[in-house]
Amino acid sequence: MEINFDARQRELLEVLSGYKAKRRFWQRGRKSGVYIYGGVGRGKTMIMDVFFKEARYRNKMRMHLIELMQEVSRFINEGKELGYADPMMYVFKRYRHLGLLCIDEFEVLDVVSSVLIRRLLIFLGKRGCILVITSNTYTSDLYANGLQRERFLELIEYFNRQMEVFYLDSGCDYRGLMDGSERNFIISKDKQEGFIRQILWGNGLVEYEEIDFSFKRVGIEHCNGMALIDFEEFCKKPYGARDYAILCGRFERFVIYNIEMPSEDRNALLRFICLIDILYDGAREIKTVADFNYREHGEDIASSMPILRRAISRVFS
């Protein structure tokens, strides 16, 4: 499918074209990457993915920030087991080969993440790794009012001095142009499963498959390729990006039900965001069944956790 980019998007693609290959000696003045920020639905992820596909690097990696931080945490644990006094040295060893790192949806929410991502990106930048980052937040506003933010300022300064900072705001939410009909249903909780089986599945043959996740085996019901995903199970329990990637790789279509918003369980909302991001990036079909109207109350819901706006935009536009 041909993509029609607007003027601002074409301008960003032109900027990124200067980073498609390893820096040559005559490009010494080139910056160390591009930090792309703007509102939800402006095409940041889409453009980064176009760039990543065309980029010619021997070692390149594209990850959602949540996936990256989970991988870093796993490497830290491995480093501790191997006896590293500073486990981040082992983390550096695992990533030192990278020539290009693309990070989608960059948003720092806690002090541990702020320390780890600062050290990793500064290390990679000094080694000459090109960074391409998308975010909804301007560099200087990252981790605003966060604990020990003064230690994070080094990374903000690196973004501002060493990278091109590009504001992408075409004024149009492209997801909002898509047909959102028959994707999101408002059904009381006690009737949701019945609605899914009778209406969405059409009383078809329901299959049951057990899948091994990171911490347990779970049975998934599915019908005609559409998997049934319970918010209570997959967002309120300690699943992670790798688990959601397993789901994404197994099924093409999903219906998520029993969704609770707003929720006092911040971790559940973060997992929901991660789940939606991974399914969306995998171009999976997503339907939702909830007992509230996202169109009418989406902004109120998002105000409780601003980064929810992205998930709401991606699924409920």
pLDDT of residue 100: 97
- Kindly state whether residue 2 falls inside one of the protein's structural domains: no
Do 270 and 143 share a domain, yes or no?
A: no
How sure is the predictor about 250, in pLDDT bands with cuts at 50, 70 and 90? Answer: very high
Average pLDDT of 94-122? 95
pLDDT confidence of residue 183: 77
Given 145, 167, 189, which residue is the final one in a domain?
167
pTM, two decimal places: 0.62
Residue linked to tokens 């501002």: 160
Q: Three-state DSSP class for 76?
A: helix
DSSP string computed for 82-145? TT-SSHHHHHHHHHTT-SEEEEES----SHHHHHHHHHHHHHHHHTT-EEEEEESS-GGGTTTT
- Domain assignment present for 55: yes
Residue type, 58: R
Tally of CB atoms within 10 A around 86: 12
Count of domains forming the chain = 2
E strand or H helix that includes residue 208 = strand 207-212
Same-domain pairing of 56 and 118? yes
Same domain, 152 and 243: no
Best CA proximity match to 234, nearest among 260, 252, 264, 208: 260
**98 domain residue, yes or no:** yes
Q: What is the pLDDT of residue 138?
A: 87
Domain identity same for 63 and 206: no
What is the pLDDT confidence band of residue 170, given thresholds at 50, 70 and 90? low
Residue 189 lies in a domain: yes
145/31 same-domain check: yes
Is 173 a member of any domain? no
Report yes or no on 305 lying in a domain: yes
Most confident of 66-70, 74-78, 275-279: 74-78
For residues 220 and 302, state if they share a domain.
Answer: yes
Cβ neighbours for 46, distance < 8 A, ≥ 6 positions apart = 3, 174
Rounded CA gap, 241 and 229, in Å? 15
Cβ burial, residue 102 (10 Å; 0-12/13-18/19+): buried
Q: Are residues 282 and 183 part of one domain?
A: yes
Answer yes or no: are the C-beta atoms of 132 and 19 closer than 8 Å. Answer: yes
Cα–Cα dist 308/301, whole Å = 8
pLDDT at position 285, please?
92
Residues of the chain with pLDDT > 70: what percent? 86
| Token pair listed for 190 | 């006690």
Strands 253-257 and 207-212: unpaired
SS3 262: coil
Confidence of residue 178 (pLDDT cuts 50, 70, 90): very low
Taking residues 146-151, report their average pLDDT: 91
Domain stops at, among 107, 136, 167: 167
Q: What residue numbers bound the domain in which 300 lies?
A: 178-316
191 shares a domain with 53: no
CATH number where 155 lies: 3.40.50.300
Burial class (CB in 10 A: 0-12, 13-18, 19+), 181: exposed
Last residue of a domain, one of 167, 197, 232: 167
Same domain? 20 vs 42: yes
Give the mean pLDDT of the chain: 86
Same domain, 14 and 159: yes
Residue 35: helix, strand or coil by DSSP? strand
Contact, 173 vs 40, CB < 8 A?
Answer: yes
What size, in residues, is the chain?
A: 317
Query: Does some domain include residue 190?
Result: yes
pLDDT band of residue 73 (cuts 50, 70, 90) is: very high
For residues 13 and 143, is the Cβ–Cβ distance under 8 A? no
Q: Residue 250 contacts by C-beta under 8 Å, 6 or more apart in sequence?
A: 209, 211, 220, 227
Instruction: Give yes or no: residues 79 and 205 share one domain.
Output: no
Which of residues 315 and 240 earns the better pLDDT score? 240
In a domain, 1, yes or no: no
242 and 129 share one domain: no
